[in-house]
Amino acid sequence: MSEAVPEPLSPRERGGGPVAQTGVRPGGGCGDAGSRFAADRSAAEAEEAEADARLRRHGARACSDAELLAWILAPGRAGFDLREGARRLLARQPLVELATCPPAVLAARPGLGPARARRLLAALELGRRATRPVAVTGLLVRRPEDLTGLLRDEFRGLDRERFMALYLDARHRVRALETVSTGSLNASLVHPREVFKPAIALSAAAVIVAHNHPSGDPRPSGDDLELTGRLDRCGELLGIALLDHLVVGDADITSIREYGWPAPATG
């Protein structure tokens, strides 16, 4: 006959006194708070990863003011003499060149790494934006010339093509300026979805797109005209007008609206 297993002692019988009240209700309390904290942290990390990916693809000009400022304030990597590192960096590359240095190249500099490279590019980009010849938000656009100063500043010093979009309200005031794509541009690489998605989110009434020709020649290419036609047709379907497509060269800016708007597709 097996021995009976004794019942476990209660906390009171063990001399531990009454069970402490934690104030946590069944099914809630700390567990829910912890879940919310984890979800918030996960969302923040996802946003940072998305911003970091955009920085690596398009550079600091594609990032928002808030993203740039957050990177400047973020803690850097320890164990490196910042002043000596800065001297070495500037001896190798002037400050004016650092502003357009690809993030991966800058991150490879001794003592920098991705985090410090990000912060440096963010600071330089915020400085550039602070000295823009015109304010972006609220800028009234009546004709292409109203964007000359802004676009020259945005595309200055770039050695790759960049495609940007300006989102306007019903009175043709700029609500936002976004980088859509960077690199060799053609009608298949710039997708209308990437152009019009922010327009829908902003409730924009119209869009103006612009890109640069690093060759300095502002004349539209066949790909430029084909892309303009695609965007124009998509804008009509969405009820968001494509007002113009501007091609930025070294000395001039060409308005495709004035140059010769692509004819509507037939058939």
Q: 37-69, pLDDT tens digit by residue?
A: 566 567 767 777 888 888 888 888 788 766 776
Amino acid (1-letter code) at residue 18: P
Q: Which residues contact 243 (CB under 8 A, 6 or more apart)?
A: 141, 168, 172, 206, 207, 208, 257
Q: Percent of the chain beyond pLDDT 90?
A: 28
- The residues of the chain that CATH labels 3.40.140.10 are 144-260
Range in 3-7, 63-67, 177-181 with the lowest mean pLDDT: 3-7
pLDDT in tens, 131-163: 765 677 888 999 999 898 888 888 887 878 889
Distance, CA of 240 to chain centre: 22
Mean pLDDT of the chain: 78
pTM above 0.75, yes or no: no
**Distance between CA atoms of 23 and 3, rounded to whole angstroms?**
40
Higher pLDDT, 190 or 142: 142
CATH of domain 144-260: 3.40.140.10
Question: Do the beta carbons of residue 255 and residue 246 sit within 8 Å?
Answer: yes
Q: What is the pLDDT of residue 19?
A: 45
Least Cα distance to 136 among 95, 179, 93, 107 occurs for 179
Question: Do the beta carbons of residue 102 and residue 59 sit within 8 Å?
Answer: yes
Least Cα distance to 213 among 155, 133, 140, 153 occurs for 155
Range in 26-30, 139-143, 174-178, 244-248 with the lowest mean pLDDT: 26-30
- Angle, nearest 10°, between helix axes 192-201 and 222-238? 40
b/e code 2-29 from CB counts within 10 Å (16+ = b): eeeeeeeeeeeeeeeeeeeeeeeeeeee
